[in-house]
Structure 1
């Protein structure tokens, strides 16, 4: 990384210069710096509205950058150790889908863990690629899916030598990493690309003592949510690439789906976040780790909870743990994670990232304050005292191995009929069912519906999980393939 160059932010500097010119706004957006919508201007602030501008020559164009956006993307590539970087204003969802569209055409195979984000399977629905699922490992105590073992990936590669790519979560939502170096070496040996979903891995590029980043491991492409842990605005992300894929072709793929009206608020936030991470990331993420390590230790002293960490690393499907993640198992106090999530929000005004049926996740960053960490720990202690009960009867696992009967695209676009979920066992699912967050499908198009899955869905509804994906917003009916 060239630290001297990283001290600049070309897009931010160009936009600041533009704002000083007092340009007459005879273009879009129609709010004209907020004058058309004074209530919105009062809410968001004059500076935000003034900076919400359209593409023009002096500010470059995201679809075909040749000046300041191009320079900003090159600085991002340098900071993250990539050959190329692309500003993404459709979130990491659009970056994940670009990776799949770049690597695979209709009918071609891609190897991936089944506990991928819905964006990856959505990409298969759109482009027609065929998944070869590798079932992740599981931890029986926690009941959560882990990473992929290198041995299981090798089995999938040997059984499907015509696959075009391997997709890896780095890390999972829970902070669990596969041996990405080993997977990259194996995939490249067999002529396959490696794509990394690093929606929760921005900090791996700058922190010390954290798991290996995708670019450092030699992956070909990585989708990185800068907004999650890197400090940019929500919906802004980076797509990182090696020279093993064509920069021009990737840009063409991006432009198939990404807006032609890229938000300069999002892009400038990426430019400034990259600058901050390059110059201060080591210090910032050291603070994140320190906060998380302290909270883990204190939460485990409470008893009943299990804030897990590096002690579970096994060199295999739990190859490494991202210690910035504050993942806490709650089932032993007799509460589902989503129940603790709701109590924290409703009774203590503490908003954590998510709760599922056995765990909660708090996202900790250098932007937090010690007092807030202490408040979180104290709230968990009080919740245990006030609400703990016998855990008998709680579901003990998050992940159910799928029975894949047809490709996601074929199932999604087949003739379908709605069916009462409780009567759908044995049918082939024609849509998605998932809890959000984390957005990992319980059912994806083309998978067989089983009684175990139906019980799991009903349990999630009973515990208050936010279920999404079905055409029926009440999640009482599910579309099945005729």
Structure 2
């Protein structure tokens, strides 16, 4: 692959030139460089307002890039060692949906883990594909889903040789990865495309002590959230593509079905800038981040009743490798739920972690962190352990059963539905998704049979004041089911 000048930023340079050109705008957006919205200009700053602009010849167009956006995408692809990249301004969710739609037609099978993000379920609705779910391995002590074992994927592939694709998460929200290279080789041997949700792994490609990236493993396509771990602005992501099994024009056409024609230059230019940092300084930056993470784990694991888990979980089954930048900490031995510790950290100590679940909290350590920032977290956790411990113990396991799929997600989405009390829904077919957020993994999806275990699990999550999303009834006392 030809090496490009990764120090260049074609889109940022074009925006700088445009903002300094003394243009008088009679196009959209209507704020006209912030002149019409003084409060926004004073808050955001004049430079930001001057680059919130519309597509035009000198700035290119995301729907059909031919100049500076095209060059910026080529640089991103080159940085990740793939053939094509596509900027996304609607997050990785839109990329996951586009990946599934590019490969699967209605009623095509796609093999995927049960703990997929809700965007993958949306991709099933949009494409009409039928999921073949694989149970990920689980860790009962931590109460979380891990990765998928190679053997479970091999069994699913050999039992569904007509499947069009295998969908992999690399990594899980908590940092676990599976044997991606072996899975890619097996899927390709059986003429299946490999799609990778790499929302939390955009940084993998830039340091050899991080898990293997999808492109390095030979996957056909991945969707990456550069805004999560790569430094770009929230909602800016990308699709990466290796040529061979999927046409780049197919991806472009599908993105043009669903992505805005008014793509944000703030988001796109942040991708250009983040890529430059990753490509030119990634190894240096992530060496420092890994050092900080290892320091944090060592300190946290000296605090009574806390366990910051890491690579010791590797077992070549559910955990083939582990992303150390996911600072995941079991807190339930304090007699507190992860939700309670999450709120204590935010409200009492002014520390915002990524998530809390029943047993754990997760802090993501990335480009802007250093020893001083993690010391604040370590000190807060020490104080919580000393002053907030309760004399109770519990360990509630995550529910990841494979409900019976009675109707395809797409057919269920378009079916007639009715609302009934949740307690009366056992045995019915769900007409909606219900999930805890974060991380946004469905507990039940449209078209699946509702079991007693699912109802009990939802009630337990409600009792723990979990944020449950996507359902018709925000109080989760009722559920939408199929039926006239």
Q: Is the 8 A contact 1:357 1:398 kept in 2?
A: no
Q: Is the 8 A contact 1:468 1:475 kept in 2?
A: no
Q: In structure 2, do the counterparts of structure 1 residues 168 and 455 end up closer, same or farther at CA, with 3 Å as the change threshold? A: same
Give 1:144's aligned residue.
144
Instruction: Name which of structure 1's ranges 332-341 and 395-404 shifts more when overlaid on structure 2.
Output: 395-404
Give 1:445's aligned residue.
446
Give 1:383's aligned residue.
384
Matches within 5 A, 1:27-46: 27-46=27-46
Q: Is the 8 A contact 2:146 2:319 kept in 1?
A: yes
Normalization by structure 1: what TM-score? 0.98
Matches within 5 A, 1:281-430: 281-430=282-431
Give 1:220's aligned residue.
220
SS at match of 2:36: coil
Q: In structure 2, do the counterparts of structure 1 residues 163 and 434 end up closer, same or farther at CA, with 3 Å as the change threshold? A: same
| Matches of 1:4 and 1:467, distance apart in 2 | 45
Q: Is the 8 A contact 2:135 2:400 kept in 1?
A: no
How far is the alpha carbon of 1:393 from its aligned partner?
4.5
Q: Is the 8 A contact 2:305 2:334 kept in 1?
A: yes
How far is the alpha carbon of 1:391 from its aligned partner?
4.2
Instruction: Name which of structure 1's ranges 398-407 and 95-104 shifts more when overlaid on structure 2.
Output: 398-407
| Matches of 2:312 and 2:451, distance apart in 1 | 35
How far is the alpha carbon of 1:68 from its aligned partner?
0.6
How far is the alpha carbon of 1:306 from its aligned partner?
1.3
How far is the alpha carbon of 1:398 from its aligned partner?
4.9
Residue deviations 1:158-179, cap 9 Å, x none?
A: 1111110000000000000011
Q: In structure 2, do the counterparts of structure 1 residues 281 and 454 end up closer, same or farther at CA, with 3 Å as the change threshold? A: same
Count of matched residue positions in the alignment of Structure 1 and Structure 2: 482
Normalization by structure 2: what TM-score? 0.97
Q: Is the 8 A contact 2:308 2:328 kept in 1?
A: yes
Q: Does 1:194 align with 2:194?
A: yes
Q: Is the 8 A contact 1:358 1:397 kept in 2?
A: no
| Matches of 2:133 and 2:376, distance apart in 1 | 41
How far is the alpha carbon of 1:127 from its aligned partner?
1.5
Extract unaligned runs of 5+ from structure 2: none
Instruction: Name which of structure 1's ranges 140-149 and 261-270 shifts more when overlaid on structure 2.
Output: 140-149
Matches within 5 A, 1:174-213: 174-213=174-213
Q: Is the 8 A contact 2:143 2:395 kept in 1?
A: no
Q: Is the 8 A contact 1:210 1:323 kept in 2?
A: yes
Q: Is the 8 A contact 1:287 1:366 kept in 2?
A: no
| Matches of 1:350 and 1:474, distance apart in 2 | 28
Residue deviations 1:414-436, cap 9 Å, x none?
A: 11111111221221111011111
| Matches of 1:13 and 1:149, distance apart in 2 | 46
Q: In structure 2, do the counterparts of structure 1 residues 349 and 56 end up closer, same or farther at CA, with 3 Å as the change threshold? A: same
How far is the alpha carbon of 1:126 from its aligned partner?
1.6
Give 1:431's aligned residue.
432
Let me know the Cα RMSD of the aligned residues.
1.3
Instruction: Name which of structure 1's ranges 176-185 and 281-290 shifts more when overlaid on structure 2.
Output: 281-290
